[in-house]
Chain A
């Protein structure tokens, strides 16, 4: 008898893929990490997504890097590799690297020099497949932090300091909704929401000279993978939203890091916000005109700000002051004993 994972159950929909058996994938990843050889399996891995799971062939070829993906994206188990059920992504081993062959929604083949890069590429392919299943969503390259007023999304170019600022906000007691990518669900009636993709936080090293000792200890206590140039953080329970958690949008904050500048937060022009939203968007299932319309809608409904800053700690304090301190959240969320 086929076993059906309740995670597959979508409201009003029948489970589409019966799982042949459940496999503890975290344990499997540890086996990969220990170097245990894994033969080619006539099976595909299933990852959580709306409507039906995302099917990935050759996931085991990522080896230890598979754990990086698994820490970010709930996997459901294995299913038979059925020719009648096309895979969404295929991982292939090359003589000098690893290939991520994205089959849906738009075919794209990318070769990586190592499994770590391919793991990140797979996460991108999982996002694309997720969006194909729920085409009303868009993905934004941004860090997101839950504040009492809702999600504050920080956007900026590479090196704008999104991840460091996001880590500072977590260190101050706010909850992360991801430091790199988030899904957005537009709602013209004003119910715009963000949906968490809890990818591991990545910080560039060394930490800035102005980082307080407490922040360095915060990072050290959560660092789990590093190569001297960057470190990945594994946040503690409660510090990061679970996969798929939703929260209303409070603000878009465009980051501009200027060495030596005092932190300042000013309203941004709608056109400037739209420009940055479009630049940081990822929605291969939509045409560009639709993406532009969605972003114009966001900019009309959600306040946009420009944050100029020199020190991440000061910028984090400013965001916390503007959107509510964690103590406010604690008071509001506190349960009254019955």
Chain B
């Protein structure tokens, strides 16, 4: 299963609990909302979709499992498309 990790070239700035990221090329600033901030924190260590889903399922016990998996997959794909995370062996 694919594992993901933060791209070390990405610069992170935290301000009053909010997280801003700048991509490795210095082209764009990204703002993370509460949910994607949580995902970003998880990605300090290599994670699979399943490991992320397990953590979020514990944090949001009322969220439908299928929906949670879809949202996490979409968020990870978005992070990857923007060069914020990398696939790791």
- Chain A residues within 8 Å of B, Cβ to Cβ: 269-272, 274-275, 278-279, 287-292, 296, 299
Q: Which residues of A contact B15 (CB under 8 A)?
A: 270-271, 274, 296, 299
18 interchain pairs, CB-CB under 8 A: A269-B16, A269-B18, A270-B15, A270-B16, A274-B18, A275-B18, A275-B20, A278-B20, A278-B29, A279-B31, A287-B27, A288-B26, A288-B29, A289-B11, A289-B29, A291-B29, A292-B29, A296-B15
B window 34-67: CB within 8 A of A: none
Residue with the highest number of chain A CB atoms closer than 10 Å, among B13, B15, B23, B31: B15
Size bracket, chain B contacts? 10 to 19
Q: Which of B16, B22, B31 contacts A289 (CB 8 A)?
A: B22
Judging by beta carbons under 8 Å apart, are A287 and B31 in contact? no
Chain B residues whose C-beta falls within 8 Å of the C-beta of A290 in the assembled complex: 26
B22–A292 contact, CB under 8 A? yes
Interface centre among B17, B20, B27 (most CB of A within 10 A): B20
Tally the A-B contacts, defined by beta carbons under 8 Å. 41
Residues of the A chain whose Cβ atoms lie less than 8 Å from the Cβ of B28? 288
Set of chain B residues within 8 Å of A274, measured between Cβ atoms: 15, 18, 20
- Residue of chain B at shortest CB distance from A289: B22
In this complex, what residue of B is CB-closest to A296? B15
Task: Give bound CA distance, A269 to B28, whole Å.
Answer: 22
How distant is the Cα of A291 from the Cα of B20 in the complex, in angstroms? Answer: 12
Whether the pair B16, A288 counts as a contact (CB closer than 8 A) is: no
Q: A269-B16, A271-B16, A274-B15 are in contact. Are A288 and B22 (CB under 8 A)?
A: yes
| Residues of B1-31 whose CB lies within 8 A of A | 11, 13, 15-18, 20, 22-23, 26-29, 31
In the complex, the 8 A-B pairs of residues with the closest C-beta atoms, listed nearest first: A271-B18, A287-B26, A271-B16, A289-B22, A271-B15, A288-B22, A278-B29, A288-B29
Give min CB distance, A200 to chain B, whole Å. 30
Find the A residue at minimum CB distance from B16. A271
